[in-house]
Structure 1
Amino acid sequence: MSSTNSTPALTLLPEWAEQEAVILAWPNPDTDWKPWLDEVQLTYVSLINAINDAGAVVILLCREQELGLIKSLVPYRAKMLCVTCDYNDTWARDYAFLTCESAKGNVPVSFRFNGWGQKFDASKDNKINEQVLAKLCQQEMQYSDTILEGGAIEIDQNQHLISTHSCLFNPLRNGDIKEDEYVSLFQKKLGATDVSVFANGHLEGDDTDGHIDTLVRFTPLHGLVVQGAYNRPADSHFEGLFKLRMECQKAFPTHAIYELPLPNMVNTDSERLPASYANFLICNKSILFPVYQQDEDAEALEVIQRAFPNHKIVAINCAPLVQQFGSLHCITMQVPFNTLKSEIIEQAQSGVYVL
C-alpha cells in the first residue's frame, strides 16, 4: 500500500542522518539482566566507546545508585551524560522519542509504549520521554496516544516507511486499528509518503511480534539489508524469511538486496534466541554491528560491508544481549544533530557528566 503527502509538517529522519547523541539505559540488578549482568555491562561499555568513536555523545539513563559502578567501568574521558531516573527495562529503542524534521527545527515525537502488547510492565518506561528526555530537547516534544515502538518502523530518505503486519496489528497494541488508519498516522506524525507492511518473517523468541529492525533495514545507497536463512535450509525460519525477501523484492524492485546469514543460538533452557544480524545501528560513518561469537559472524560482517561500502564496520559482541531476546539496535536510540539543547551536548562532551 502506498499514498502521497507532499508537504508533511514533520518528517522522520532516516538513521543515517548526522547524529549528535545515542540514548542508552544502563542494565542494573533490578532488570532482567541480573543473570548476565557483568557480561552485559561490558557490552554496554564497548558500545559507549564505539558511539564516541563515531562522533556522537551518549545520553545514559541510569539509577543514582549505579553511578559509582558506571564511572568505574567507563573511561573517565568518555563523552557521556548520565541522566538519573528509574525505568522498567533497557530497550530504549522502543520507548525513547523519535526525531522528525520540521520548519522550526528537529522535533522529538513520543508515542505510547505498553510493553510490546502488554507482555511486560512498562509503566516507568512509558513516562521517560515526558518526565526525563523532553527537558533535554530544543523543541517542545509532540505526543501521540498511539502505541508504537521505535523498532517497529524504518524509513529512508525518500520517506518510504516499512513495518510488519504481525507487530502493527497485534490487538493488544491499538485494538482493531486498520491499515489505512496506520498509513494516515504515519503520514501525519512522521511524514511518510509511502508505507509498506510486510506479512512474512518472524524470529523465534522475539517478544516484539516481529519488529522490522530484526528483519529489514534500509541503506542510504538504494539498498535493503534483509535477515535471511539461506545458510540453513532445514531451519524453521527458512520459509518465512525466504518469503520476506520476495516481499522486499516486490516492494523495492530497483533496490539492491543484501541478505544476512542466520545463526542458530539457544539458551540454557534450549529456547531459540532471536539473534539477528539486521539489528545494527548506523551511527554517523560507522555501523555498530552485532556479532554473537558464532560461525556466521564473519560472513555477516562481509555482507554488511558490501551494503555500506562507505562506512566503518565495528563489531560489538552481543551474545550477552540476545540472552534477553534482543540485540544492539534494540538498546539504542539515535538523536540527530541539532535536536538536544547545546548545553546538554557540551556537558556530555566534557567527560562523564551527571545531570
Structure 2
Amino acid sequence: MLIRPPHLDEFPHLSTLCLRSKGYWGYDEVFLEACRPVLTLRPEDLTSSDIAVAEDSGSVIGLVQVTRDGRDAELAKLFVAPEAIGGGAGKALYLWALERSKALGARSLRIEADPGAAPFYQHMGAVLEGSAPSEAVPGRHLPLLRHRLDRDRPKTQGFRMPAEWEPHLRCWMMWPRREEVWPDLEKTYLDYARVAHAIAAFEPVVMAVHPEDMEIAKRHLDSSITLLAVPIDDSWARDAGPCFLLHGDGRRAGVDFNFNAWGGKYAPFDSDNAFAAAALREAGVERFASKLTAEGGGISVDGEGTALTTLSCFPNANRNPDWRLEEITSELEEMLGLDKVIWLPGDADELETDGHVDGIAVFCGPGRVLAETASQAGDDLAEVKQANLDALKAAQDAKGRPLEVLEMPAALSADCRGERFCNSYVNFYIANGGIVMPRYGVAEDDWAREILEDAFPGREVVMVAIDDVAVGGGGIHCITQQEPAPHSKV
C-alpha cells in the first residue's frame, strides 16, 4: 500500500527497510551508512508532500523522497526492498515521484542511480545522461539519468510564437476602467476607440469589456468592433492576454503566463490574470499554462526561434524571485518555441513595467530590429538606450545572423504629462497590410513614420493620437494583442 505520511514517527518499522535490503546495493556497510540520514530524519524535516512510503503487513518495504533543485526536481532517495520490486512497490513509488515533481513545477526529475537500478529507471522513461561521483563511496561513479516532464510543452509539440508581421485572424483589446491609471477616463475612451477603429480597417477587433462598462463601450465603438463581456481589472491586452502560438500544420494554441500587475503595482489584478484563459477559450484553442510571471510586452519574437527581452523585467524580484536567469530562459524557450533568448539590459528605472522590451526594441523582420536611438539631444535616457543598442549590435539571432539595428527616435518634444508618459514610437501595432503607430503632434512624428514605412514596405502606415493612452504608461502595442491566423509558416 502506498501512503504519504505527515512525518516518519508513524512508521516504527522503517529500520526494516535497510535490514531487508541488506546486500541489494552490493556493499552492505556503505548501504547502511547511506540509509542513516533517512533513519534519523526528524518529523519536522519532512512533510507529507516530500516523502512517500510503501508498507506491507506492517513493514516498510520502500521509501521515496523528492527535493526541489531550481526548476528541476531531484530523486533524493528511492529505497525498495528487492523482493518488493517485482510486486510493483518500486514502480508505484517512482510514479509518485514523477507526480510530486510535476506538482513542484519541475521540468525534469534528475536521478543519481545505483548501477543495478539504472535499467529500472530507463524502463520507466528516464534517459541516461552520464555519471556523477558517489557521495557514499569515494572514487565510485553512479549513473546520472533524467526523466523529462515537459514532453507535453509547446516547443516539444512543435508550436512556436509567430512573428507579429505574419497573418492575423484578429486583434484583441481590453476596455479601460482602472481610475487610478487614467486621470480622464472619457478622453482615454476616445483614444482607445480611435486605435480600435484604425486596426479594424485592416483586421477584425475583439474588445473585452467588463460587464459594468458595456454601455459605455457601445457608445464609443461602432459595429465593426466585436464586444465580449469579460470581468477585467483594466486594459493592457498585450500583458494580461495570452501569447498565441502556431503549429506548422496550422493548429493554434496560446500561453497563459502568470500576471501580477507588473510586480504588484496595482490591485486587484486577479481578473486580468484570468483574462488569458478566457481569451483562449473564446478563440477555441489549446491553453498552455506557465508558472512564470511574464507579460507579452516583455517579449518580441522573429518567428524563427529568437526572442528579445530585458534583464530588468522578468528576472526582477517583484515577478520571479525564485527563478534563476537560465531557468527563465529555458521556460521562455519551451513555452514559446524558441531556440535563443537575447537579453538586453532594459530600463530598471522605468516606473510601470520595469523596462518592457516593446518600449525599447522590437523585431521588424528576420535579423532586423527597430530600437530607440541614443543620439537625440537632451535625452535623459541616452545612456540606458545606448546600453541596449550595444547589446543588440553584439548579438546574433538563433540562426547565427548578426542583427541589423534600425534606430528610431522618441517623441522627446511631446508634452509628457507625468512621469509615466510613454513617448515611444517603437510601441506600434502591425496589422494585416498596415501599421498603426502613435502620433504625438510633434516634429518627430514624420521622422518615425518614414522609418516605419521603410521598414515595412507595402504596408499602409496610419497614425493615431494616443496622448490619453500614453499618460497611463503604455502605447498602441501595449493595449493590443494579435491572434495569428491558422496558416502554415511560409
Structure-1 residue corresponding to 2:462: 314
Name which of 436, 444, 452 aligns with 1:288. Answer: 436
Residue 94 (structure 1) aligned with residue 94 (structure 2): no
Residue 105 (structure 1) aligned with residue 213 (structure 2): no
Deviations 1:136-155 (A, max 9, x none): 12333121111110011111
**AA matched with 2:218:** K
Larger mean Cα displacement after TM superposition, 216-225 or 109-118: 216-225
Distance in 2, matches of 1:100 and 1:197, equals: 21
Distance in 1, matches of 2:481 and 2:474, equals: 14
Detail structure 1 runs of 4+ shifted over 6 Å in the superposition. Answer: none
Structure-2 residue corresponding to 1:13: 162
Structure-2 residue corresponding to 1:353: none
Name which of 232, 242, 246 aligns with 2:390. Answer: 246
Structure-1 residue corresponding to 2:449: 301
Structure-2 residue corresponding to 1:220: 365
Name which of 398, 403, 407 aligns with 1:259. Answer: 407
Map 1:114-193 → 2, pairs under 5 A: 114-121=260-267, 122-130=269-277, 132-193=278-339
Q: Is the 8 A contact 1:32 1:324 kept in 2?
A: no
| Aligned residues: CA RMSD | 2.3
Secondary structure class of the residue paired with 2:313 = helix
Compute the displacement of 1:169 (Å): 1.3
Q: Percent identity?
A: 26
Distance in 2, matches of 1:69 and 1:126, equals: 23
Distance in 1, matches of 2:182 and 2:409, equals: 30
Name which of 197, 206, 210 aligns with 1:49. Answer: 197
Distance in 2, matches of 1:164 and 1:40, equals: 28
Distance in 2, matches of 1:302 and 1:221, equals: 20
Q: Is the 8 A contact 1:159 1:194 kept in 2?
A: yes
Compute the displacement of 1:68 (Å): 2.8
Distance in 1, matches of 2:182 and 2:471, equals: 11
Larger mean Cα displacement after TM superposition, 295-304 or 39-48: 39-48
**AA matched with 2:240:** Y
Change (3 A) 1:219 1:268: closer
Q: Is the 8 A contact 1:31 1:89 kept in 2?
A: no
Change (3 A) 1:237 1:268: closer
**AA matched with 1:24:** M
Deviations 1:200-251 (A, max 9, x none): x43865411111111111112532100123122x422111212211211111
**AA matched with 2:455:** A
Deviations 1:166-193 (A, max 9, x none): 0021112111412221222122111101
Deviations 1:266-287 (A, max 9, x none): 6555x36231111011112211
Change (3 A) 1:58 1:97: same
Secondary structure class of the residue paired with 1:258 = strand
Aligned residues: 327
- How high is the TM-score relative to the length of structure 2? 0.63
Map 1:49-88 → 2, pairs under 5 A: 49-54=197-202, 56-76=203-223, 78=224, 80-88=225-233
